[in-house]
Amino acid sequence: AQSVSQHNHHVILSEAASLELGCNYSYGGTVNLFWYVQYPGQHLQLLLKYFSGDPLVKGIKGFEAEFIKSKFSFNLRKPSVQWSDTAEYFCAVNALLTGGGNKLTFGTGTQLKVEL
């Protein structure tokens, strides 16, 4: 079964600081990778996704992530955070199941707080 680990549970940054959130997954087969964001009081939104091709993917609101297959990692980055980036960030792995179908597994999440 696949698993996803996020190393940072709580991150506090000042505005304009750079952000990197770590994500590692464990699964030997074909996977697609995602970052979702959950702003306070709002529903989960897709931030970016990786299916294949260029391992550096760009998402909404200036976020990007790099897939490093050899490290089973999919870290999220943003050069300069804003107060409005305060939210919970979830890394997720969608993997094919041996019995058919697929399953989206989430990491434990990282609570990001950006201070003015």
Q: Which DSSP letter does residue 30 get?
A: -
- 101 or 116: CB nearest another protein: 101
80 binds another protein (CB under 8 A): no
Among 66, 82, 69, smallest CA distance to 20 is for 66
Identify which range of 15-23, 53-61, 67-75, 97-105 contacts another protein by CB under 8 A.
97-105
Among 116, 77, 110, 89, smallest CA distance to 10 is for 110
Among 114, 111, 86, 79, smallest CA distance to 8 is for 111
Identify which range of 43-51, 56-64, 67-75, 79-87 contacts another protein by CB under 8 A.
43-51
Among 5, 18, 45, 80, binds another protein (CB under 8 A): 45
Among 25, 63, 67, 90, binds another protein (CB under 8 A): 90
